[in-house]
Amino acid sequence: MVGRQGGHNKGGGRKNENNKIYAHPLPILFSEPPQTSLSHKLNAFLGINDTKVLNPHCHGVLDVATRSVWVTDPKDVRILWTRGFFGKGDLSRSEPSWHARQVNAMKAAAGNYLTSEEIREKRRNERKQFKLDRARALAEAAAEAEAAFVEGREAVLPEIPSGATWKPSAQSAAPEPGDDAPPSADADEVELLEEELLEDVEHMQLTLQEAFFLCWGLDCLTILDPHTSQSLSLQQIWVSLQQAFGIIPSLKPVYTISPEEERFDNPFLVNYAVYHHYRSLGWVVKSGIKFCVDLLLYKRGPVFHHAEFGVLVIPVYEDPADKLSSPYALANADPMSWTWLSTINRVNSQVQKTLVLAYVTIPSSSHVPHHTLSSPACLNHYSVREVVLRRFIPARMRD
């Protein structure tokens, strides 16, 4: 697990490295046979495309209580993260990096490979230090101006540090991330032993939408039942994922669905339609809970650039009678207020993201027969359309 390097080798080196690691947008790989081989030439003559598809065949365990699929095999975790940015470490910010952080914390030579959590801590400490310096300088300046006013002379003001030019002072001011034990020879040996014995207790979790996309759309993930460790058939997965959002919460996967709960407005189906739509357009889709939205869209991935768009899923019932008879209370289905919209728009403007409202239409149960719900073919009846929302400032738009 390679975290980002901090400090040296910035810019070109890191970008090239990221381009190499995260080169594939999906977990499946295509291998072109060597151009000069005879069989390839024969196939080309006959018009047969013999590109082979390499499927990693990852495995995950369904956990209904957390509504996620757990992936524990380190190889699978790495494949799913680097090819498409699927999933999230449950003890980490995004990429599973708990083990690397623990190892760094034990080693005295922390700072060579900083994980993103460590970079974040360092950045927060530096900012705290900057704020303290600035507050002190401002207080001095105020005292000086006050004294000058009383005496009736001009004030000579000290310099107030600005965010752009402040540099962190001696390292003693900022605490090291995590480590304050001085190294010694014995400690090194002990640490090595501990490191080998340290078990990685972190797993990667896929949301149910990501898991279904991998399992049904790309056919590269096998989902196992948590208790029997049997691999589930697509039929069972389809039903249990819907049932996971059912009215009566359960801790075990349920493979039958009651007629009241088998509806077009099941939250899993509604959210999956939007997830699939943006994934199929090539965007990397991650959870948007940090910014009050449902989804974040990245062009290539979180390691390359910040997300450009924050998507709010707004379900629209084609038949209002369906809404009245529904046991599910879908979020954002009722007409919302302007204060709600202003709040979310303000949060997203602060972080330079554009807010997109994605309206999902839920098919009317009177027009579409009920049996389509037994297979993913029902997804053909949903539709997604977007409205981009921005604040409009007439004072700036005059030209």
Q: Which of 122, 276, 286, 353 is flagged as catalytic?
A: 353
Min CB(142)–another protein separation in Å = 5
- What does residue 102 show for φ and ψ, rounded to 5 degrees? -65, -40
Q: Side chain identity at 19, as an amino acid letter? A: N
Contact present, 240 and 215 (Cβ < 8 Å): no
Half-sphere exposure of 111 (CA within 13 A, CB side): 10
Burial letters 360-397, b for 16+ CB under 10 A, else e: bbbbebeebeeeebeebebeebbeeeeeebeeeeeeee
Distance in angstroms (rounded) separating the CA atoms of residues 354 and 348:
7
Cβ-based neighbour number of residue 27 at 10 Å: 22
Min CB(114)–another protein separation in Å = 25
353 a catalytic residue: yes
139 vs 289, beta carbon nearer another protein: 139
Q: Which of 272, 298, 317, 382 is flagged as catalytic?
A: 298
370 vs 390, beta carbon nearer another protein: 390
DSSP state of 215: I
299 a catalytic residue: no
- What does residue 298 show for φ and ψ, rounded to 5 degrees? -110, 145
164 vs 251, beta carbon nearer another protein: 164
- What does residue 6 show for φ and ψ, rounded to 5 degrees? -105, 130
191 vs 318, beta carbon nearer another protein: 318
52 a catalytic residue: no
91 vs 389, beta carbon nearer another protein: 389
Q: Which residues, including other chains, have CB under 8 Å from residue 54's CB and lie 6 or more apart? A: 28, 29, 30, 31
129 vs 361, beta carbon nearer another protein: 361
Min CB(183)–another protein separation in Å = 38
Contact present, 101 and 95 (Cβ < 8 Å): no
Min CB(366)–another protein separation in Å = 9
Tokens linked to 94: 């995004």
Min CB(163)–another protein separation in Å = 4
Q: Which of 41, 52, 306, 370 is flagged as catalytic?
A: 306
Q: Which residue spans within 84-174 are E strands per DSSP?
A: 88-89
Distance in angstroms (rounded) separating the CA atoms of residues 127 and 49:
56
Min CB(205)–another protein separation in Å = 23
Q: List, by residue number, the catalytic residues.
A: 298, 306, 353
